Every structure is written in structure tokens, then in C-alpha cells.
Structure 1
């Protein structure tokens, strides 16, 4: 029975129990499901050619044995098989391959296979996300087959493109614009067409990266208020219901002396955001739409793995998508210092409130990835929650792992990518490091600290604006996702500070260590910047320092 038929024939409580029942599990029941599914996956994976290759001829008979003897993996371990799409080597037959950026400047793309069983699980879990996005309390939700959905998603082959395809098989929710049309349109064209249709039909749901949802919401605000230069151009296409709301909202906004917002016109039922940096946008999105966005987590390799509930107080991981392990922060730091070190992992029933963890997944239902480091860090917020009556851990998404700078869910900038940009620029740069930081509006940026060579002719004249302009050209060339930040979101994420010549060497001499190239601690950056005024730093006439 399709979800749409269930909405007609089943009681709300039955539907809730089917899709959101995992929230009623205690930790023992949750781990029982995890281990049963993992044992099935271990059998499939261990007997596949991919599994045999990675196990190097060994036979693994239990989850405990796997965790003791099989090391954690990264995409490099799978690349030769997956990039050539060698389906015969995999534990399950792929129905579709999903694509994303691997590492800008070094590896163009990575792909991940999805089996039919994985797609079935994905479908059930995105329906759970829809239910929860409209819920106000346990077993209370508002989903109808006649609802409309503003299309704010990247199309296939990206992972978010699966979302509307999965819903299409289950319920007649109308996407604005229709999926097949939306996939042919540019980002700007999709926004304009979706908004035009929304003004006629109304908008019930909105889902996108937090940064994209914020940009689209601001665009809608400008268009509805007439600040786009086309005031009243959409009035003729408004439905009577929307027209009445529009005229009433205009009067209220004029009286209150503020711009029109989407919440003044649309009565959004469900609002979902994914990706990184959502904490930078949630408050403003709630103000614009009148609904607090519900955060969920999905990725190319893990699929859709986690969702918040009506409380918006942390994400719960679906027990049937992946088998989860967690690297505690102390082990992450050891591994950063020694790349050969194999960090210890904890299971879901071993995590502790307040602690930060890097997540490790084994994809269930015939997936390719085993003990795979996705590259995302979470904080455990609690083991139980009386407000939503759960007895399983919940998590807050923190960011990518510290050796990656991800801006607004678009970039994966690494040390090698920045070094490539520096090399291509031709500038005589003696040293650099980069940090993800936030501007005065609490929006993310990449702050690159640069030291020019003391004897360089360029160092006599190069200021930070010239350096920024020069490096930006090469960041766009090396990383196409970086280019999309400006093209799609209008963001300029690069900030430059020019260090006095000799600062990096003095830091190393004084503290007997080199500063981390990517995301050094705030304390380390403060230590280094204090050297700017020390007698050891050589000042070169003509350089404009900060």
C-alpha cells in the first residue's frame, strides 16, 4: 500500500508507528536492530569481491572481530572500484549511482551505489522526515496528498535529487516547479518558476541546504515586497486565498514599517534543512517563514541517516540506514598527530552527553562502505529526552572534520586544494594557514593568513585586496563548488590577513611546533598574531598588515 493510500485508510497513530516508531525504541532495542542488520550486511559484504579485496583474504565472523581487526576506511579505499562503477564487485546490485565532489583541486567527483533495499529504506525515512516536519507533538502531524513542495534541491545525480523521486512513488505531492522541469532549469530559473507557482497554488513544504533556503527566502522577500523592480507583476496569477493574504500582509507591513516576508503570504507546514552551517541560518529562516526549520542529515555515501523531531533539540539516527560508530575527540586528535594511528570507536550505547564524535558508518542493505569515515563531527546532546519521550541518544551536527573547510555545504577545501591555489597564483608566498571563521553577521567564511617572502618584489606592493582578488580567481578555477558560492548564493567567502615576514618562523621557534595548516585552534591563532608586534617580526615597507 502506497503512503497516499495509508493517509486515506489508516489512522494517524498507525502511520506514525510505522514510520516514526524508531523514536519509541529504548537503547537495547535500538542496538538489537543495529546488530541484526549489521550481521546481515557483514555476510553480504564479506562475500563480495570488494569485501574480499579489502579484507585481504581474511574471514570476519562477527561485528566484534570486524571492529578489532579491520581498519577504518576512506574513499581512497573504494575509488578504483566505484569510480569505474564495477557493479559485479559489490555486495548488492546498484539501481542508481549518486555523485558529489570528492576534494576540490585534487579529485573531481566521488560516486556511491544505491541498491533497491537502500532506496526502499531511504524512501521510508524521508517520509518519516516529512511527517516529523509537520508534527507539533508525538503522533500529531499534518500531511496531505494535495500538498505543494517548493523545489530547493540540487537535482540528480546529487543525493538531494533522490528526495522528490522517492516521494513521487508514494504520494502525489506537487513539486513547484515539477521535478522533470526543475531538473532542466538553472538555479535562478527554478526559484522564479517555483515562486510564481507558489503564489498561485500556495507552498506547504520547503527543503534545501540551509544556506540555499536562506538565499531563496531572501529572494522571495524581495519579490513579494516589489523590491525586485517588478512590483505587482505576479498579482494577476495569485489565487483568491493568496491574494487576500497578500493584500492584508501589505497593509500590516506598511503599518509596522517592515518588508514583506514569506510568512506573511505562505502558511508553511513543513520546513527541512540539511548540510553544514545550518546554525548560521535557522533563526533568520524562522523569522522569515514563521516556522522553525527541522534539521536532517543526509549525504552521498550514508544516504538519509538522521532527523530532528518537533522539539528541534537534536537529531536522531535512523537505525536501519547505517551501522554507527563514533570516534571520540581525544582519538581524533591522536589520529591528527599520527596518521597511522587507528582511533578507537564507540557504539551508540557507549556515547556520552556533551562529547564530540566523528561519525563512522557501515552502510546497510547491500551498501559498499564498511567502517567508513564520512568526515562529519557531532556532539551528543543527551541519552534521553523527556520532552519528546525518547530513550536513545540525540546529536547536534557540529561541522566537517577539522582538516576540511566546508562553507555553507558547498565546499570541501583541504590543505592540498589551498596549496594548489597558492602554486598556481605565482605569488611568492612563504607560508600560509587557513581557518573557518564567522563574520559579524554570524555567516561562515574562509580566513587565509598569508606570509609573503621577505625578499619578494611582490611583497613590496601587494595588499590584501589585491591578494584576495588574485587567489579568488584560482579558487574558482580549482574548485567549481567554490565558484557556485558566488554564482548561486552571492557569497564571497574569502578573507585575507597578511602576516609580517618572519611570523611563522618565530612561532615555530618560540612554541617548538608548526601551526596547523587547516583550522588551527583559536588559541594558536591568537598566539601567532601576538607575534605581529614582537621584535622578531621583520617589517617590510609597503606591506599593509592587519
Structure 2
């Protein structure tokens, strides 16, 4: 029976228990599911050509043995098989291949196979998200057939392109604009079309990257406000009398309050989902714009949809049937950063501690390819149970990508090698650099580069901070197409430059007897570096004037 039929024929309690019943598990019951599914996956994986290749002749018979003798993996371990789409070597036959950026400037793309079992699990868990994002308490939700959803998703072969197809197999959802049409439109055209259709039909759901949802929401406000100045000639008047009345009422209220029209003035959104990184930079403003707080879920190319918040919006729970989860504690992460050859220890879901940060490690279930795979994402365990949610499971807040990657608004994966490629291509006489992910006074993400130029360079005597930023930006866009999309799609210019005095890095190495990490060193290390030079700004200004 499809989800749409269940909504008509089954009790809300039964539907809730089928899709969201995992929230009632205690940790022992949760781990029983994890271990049972992992044993099934281990049998498939070790028997596959991929498993045999990675095991290098080892024989693994249990999850315990796997964790003790098989090292953690990264995409490099799978690339030769997956990039050729060697389905014959995998634990189960792939139905579809999903694509994303691997590493800008070094590896263009990476792909991940999805089996029939993975797609079925994805479908059920996306429906769980749909239920939970409309819920106000346990077993109370308002999803129904015929709801409309504003299209804010990247199309296939990207992971978010799976969602419309998964939903349409189970329930009638009207996407604004329709998926086939939306995929042919530019980002701006899609927003305008979606807004016009929303004014005619209403908007029930909205799902997208947090940064994209924010940009689209601001665009809707601007479109609605610009219609206000058309003296009755705008297309917004070609709607039903009821929606026209609401628009005119919103126009009067906003004029009185001296503000632009917001989406919440025009639409009654009942389900709002955001994914990706940096969502905490946008949630408060999105809630203000729509009148409903976004529910965060976590989905990625390799792991699929693995986690969701509930009606409380106070942390994500991981679905027990998508992946087998391991967690690298922060202390182990730091050891690995200092010594890349160090193999960090992991703990399981029933061993995490409240308040601690962890890098997640996944083994994809249901015939997936990835085993003990480092996705590159860091979470903090918020608590081990919740009286509000009535749960006895750990829940998590997403923190960011791992320290050696700078991700801006869910669009980029900037690594040390990518930045070094940009520096080399720029032709600038840069002696040394480091890059840090920071947040502006408006709580928006940016990349801050600290740059030292060579003392004998003519460039070092003539370049200003603005020229350096402009020059490097050109090459960041050339090396990393996702970086280019930050400006094209979101209107963001994420690069901040600080020029350091010549010799600052050498002075730091001499003073502190260590070399700085190039990507995201500690705040203390950055402060110590900048403290080695006095009146930096005045020195830069004087040099620029010369």
C-alpha cells in the first residue's frame, strides 16, 4: 500500500509507528537493529570483489573483528572501482549512481551507487522526514496528498534529485515548478516560476540547502515587494480573490510596519526542511521569514538520508537502518590531524557521551559500497535522551566539515591542495599562507586567508588587499566550479584577505617551535600569529600608498 493510501485508510498512530517508530527504541533495541543489519551487510560486502580487494586477503567474520582489523577508509580507496561504475564488483546491483564534487582543483567528481534496498530505505526515511516536519507533537502531523512543495533542490545526478522521485512513488506532491520543467530552468527563472505558481496554489512544503533556502526566501520577498509597485498591473493580481485579498492585506500591514513583504505574509508553510552545512547561520532568519522553524535533516551522497530532527528542532536522530555508525572522538581526530598515519579509534552509538564532538564514520547498509568510511562531517552529541521528544536515544547537532576542509554554505570543499593550486596559478609571489573558516558579524560563513608575500617581490610592494582578493578569487572560480556558484547562485563573496608582514610565519615557527596547520588552525594559533606584528592595518595601508 502506498503512503497516500495509508493516509486515507490507516490511523495516524499506525502511520507514525511505521515511519517514526524508531524514535521509541531504547539504545539496546537500536543497537540490535544496527548489529543485525551490519552482519547482513558484512556478509554481502566481504563476498563481493570490492570487499575482497579492500580486505587484501583478510578473512572477516564479525563486526567486532572488522573494527579491530580493517582500517577506516576514504574515497581514494574506492575511486578506481566506483568512478568506472563497476557494478559487477559491488555487494549488490546499483539501480542509480549519485554524483557530487570530490575535491575542487584535484578531483572533479565522485559517484556513489544506490541499490534497490538503499532506495527503499531512503524512500521510507524521507517520508518519515515529511511526517516529522509537519508534526507539532508525537503522532500529530498534517502531511496529505496534493500538498505543494517549492522546488529548491539540485536535480539528479545530485542526491537531492532523489527526493521528488521517491515522494512521487508514494504520494501526490505538486512541485512548484514541476520537476521536469524546473530542471530545465536557470536558478533565477525557477524562483520566479515557483513564486508565481505559489501565489496561485499556495506553498505547503519547502526543502533545500539552508543557504539556498535563505536566498530563495529573500528573493520571494523582493519579488512580492516589487509587485507592490506595479500599480495593479503585475502578474500577482492574476490569482484567486482569496489570495488577492491576502496579498492586499499583507501589503497594507507591511507598509504600516515599514518593511518588505515576507513569505509568511503570503503563505502558510506547514513543512520546512533544510539540509547541508552552515544551517545554523540561516535558521533564525528563515524562521522569521516564513513563521515556522526549519527542521534540519542530514543527507549526503555516500550515506544517503541518515538523520532528522523532530517537532522540537533540538537535534538530529540517526535512522538505524541506513548506515552502521561509528564515531571518532575529538581527541582521536586531533591525533590524526597531527599524524595522518595514525589510525583513530572509534566508538559506537551506545558509547557516545553528551557534549562531546565526533567525526562520523559510516558503513552503508543494504548492499552499499562504503565500509568504515570517513564522510568528513563532525557532530556534537547534545544528549542521550530527551523528555520533550520522549526519546532514549542520542541526538546530535551538526557542527561542520572536518578541520582540513573549508565548506562554505554547503557549496564548497576547499582543501589545502586546492588553495595551493590557486596560489600557484595566480602567479603572485606568495611566501606563505593559511586559511580559516570564520563567520561575519551577520553570522554568515566566509574563508579568511592570511597571506605573506615574498620580501623581494615587486608585487609585495604594490599589491593591496583588494587587488590580492580579486586576483585570488578569479582562480578560486577557475579551480572550483562550486566556488563560482557561491556568487552566481547565492550572491556570496566569501573570501577575506589579511596581508601579514614579511617574516611573520618564520617568526611564529621560531617563537612557538612548531609549524601552523594550513587549514583551520586553532583560534589560539591564529591569534598568536597575528600578535607577532603590530599595527598591521596601518602597515598595510602605508605599503599600499607607496
The yes-or-no answer on 1:365 pairing with 2:366 is yes
Show the counterpart of 2:20: 20
Q: Secondary structure at the match of 1:495?
A: strand
Cα deviation code 1:4-23 (max 9, x no counterpart): 00011001111000000000
Cα distance change, pair 544–515 in 1 and its aligned pair in 2 (3 A): farther
Q: d(CA) in 2 for partners of 1:227 and 1:6?
A: 41
Show the counterpart of 2:130: 130
Show the counterpart of 1:327: 328
Q: d(CA) in 2 for partners of 1:286 and 1:96?
A: 35
Q: d(CA) in 1 for partners of 2:20 and 2:519?
A: 40
What's the offset of the Cα at 1:237? 2.6
Q: Secondary structure at the match of 2:208?
A: strand
Q: d(CA) in 2 for partners of 1:136 and 1:254?
A: 32
Contact 1:134 1:142 in 2 (8 A): yes
Contact 1:222 1:228 in 2 (8 A): no
Contact 1:405 1:414 in 2 (8 A): yes
What's the offset of the Cα at 1:241? 2.7
Q: 1:106-145 counterparts in 2 under 5 A?
A: 106-145=106-145
Q: 1:335-484 counterparts in 2 under 5 A?
A: 335-484=336-485
Q: d(CA) in 2 for partners of 1:345 and 1:454?
A: 46
Q: Secondary structure at the match of 1:113?
A: strand
Cα deviation code 1:129-167 (max 9, x no counterpart): 000000000000001101100000000000000000100
Structure 1 residue ranges (4+ consecutive) displaced by more than 2 angstroms after TM superposition: 227-232, 234-237, 539-545
Cα deviation code 1:341-378 (max 9, x no counterpart): 11000000000000000000000000000000000000
TM-score (norm 2): 0.98
Q: Secondary structure at the match of 1:465?
A: helix
Contact 1:182 1:190 in 2 (8 A): yes
Show the counterpart of 2:146: 146
Q: Secondary structure at the match of 1:268?
A: coil
Q: d(CA) in 2 for partners of 1:107 and 1:465?
A: 29
What's the offset of the Cα at 1:240? 2.7
Contact 2:227 2:236 in 1 (8 A): no
The yes-or-no answer on 1:529 pairing with 2:496 is no
Q: d(CA) in 2 for partners of 1:228 and 1:281?
A: 26
Q: Secondary structure at the match of 1:80?
A: helix
Q: Secondary structure at the match of 2:265?
A: helix
Cα deviation code 1:16-41 (max 9, x no counterpart): 00000000000000000000000000
Contact 2:4 2:172 in 1 (8 A): yes
Q: d(CA) in 1 for partners of 2:165 and 2:243?
A: 28
Cα deviation code 1:518-537 (max 9, x no counterpart): 001111111111101299xx
Contact 2:411 2:486 in 1 (8 A): yes
Q: d(CA) in 2 for partners of 1:229 and 1:448?
A: 43
Cα deviation code 1:227-261 (max 9, x no counterpart): 79767522233233321211111111122221110
Q: d(CA) in 1 for partners of 2:5 and 2:225?
A: 40
**Which consecutive unaligned segments of at least 5 residues does structure 1 have?**
none
Q: d(CA) in 2 for partners of 1:489 and 1:227?
A: 22
Contact 2:196 2:236 in 1 (8 A): no
Q: d(CA) in 1 for partners of 2:395 and 2:260?
A: 37
Cα deviation code 1:403-434 (max 9, x no counterpart): 00000000000000000000000000000000
Q: 1:185-200 counterparts in 2 under 5 A?
A: 185-200=185-200
Show the counterpart of 1:83: 83
Q: 1:51-62 counterparts in 2 under 5 A?
A: 51-62=51-62
RMSD of Structure 2 on Structure 1 (CA): 1.6
What's the offset of the Cα at 1:543? 2.8
Q: 1:294-333 counterparts in 2 under 5 A?
A: 294-333=295-334
Show the counterpart of 1:10: 10
Cα distance change, pair 430–263 in 1 and its aligned pair in 2 (3 A): same
Contact 1:201 1:239 in 2 (8 A): no
Contact 1:460 1:542 in 2 (8 A): no
**Which consecutive unaligned segments of at least 5 residues does structure 2 have?**
none
Contact 2:150 2:205 in 1 (8 A): yes
Contact 2:105 2:418 in 1 (8 A): yes
What's the offset of the Cα at 1:459? 0.5
Query: How many aligned residue pairs are there?
Result: 544
Show the counterpart of 1:214: 214
Cα deviation code 1:296-328 (max 9, x no counterpart): 000000000000000000000000000000000
TM-score (norm 1): 0.98
Q: d(CA) in 1 for partners of 2:390 and 2:515?
A: 48
The yes-or-no answer on 1:494 pairing with 2:518 is no
Q: d(CA) in 1 for partners of 2:535 and 2:247?
A: 61
Contact 1:199 1:234 in 2 (8 A): no
Contact 2:487 2:493 in 1 (8 A): yes
Contact 2:464 2:540 in 1 (8 A): no
Q: d(CA) in 2 for partners of 1:334 and 1:243?
A: 61
What's the offset of the Cα at 1:479? 0.1
Contact 1:435 1:447 in 2 (8 A): yes
Q: Secondary structure at the match of 1:533?
A: coil
What's the offset of the Cα at 1:186? 1.4
Contact 2:237 2:244 in 1 (8 A): no
Contact 1:501 1:540 in 2 (8 A): no
Contact 1:461 1:543 in 2 (8 A): yes
Q: d(CA) in 2 for partners of 1:147 and 1:540?
A: 57
Show the counterpart of 1:38: 38
Q: d(CA) in 1 for partners of 2:359 and 2:259?
A: 43
Q: 1:269-284 counterparts in 2 under 5 A?
A: 269-284=270-285
Q: d(CA) in 2 for partners of 1:228 and 1:150?
A: 22
Q: Secondary structure at the match of 1:306?
A: strand
Q: Secondary structure at the match of 2:366?
A: coil
What's the offset of the Cα at 1:516? 1.1
Q: d(CA) in 1 for partners of 2:172 and 2:44?
A: 35
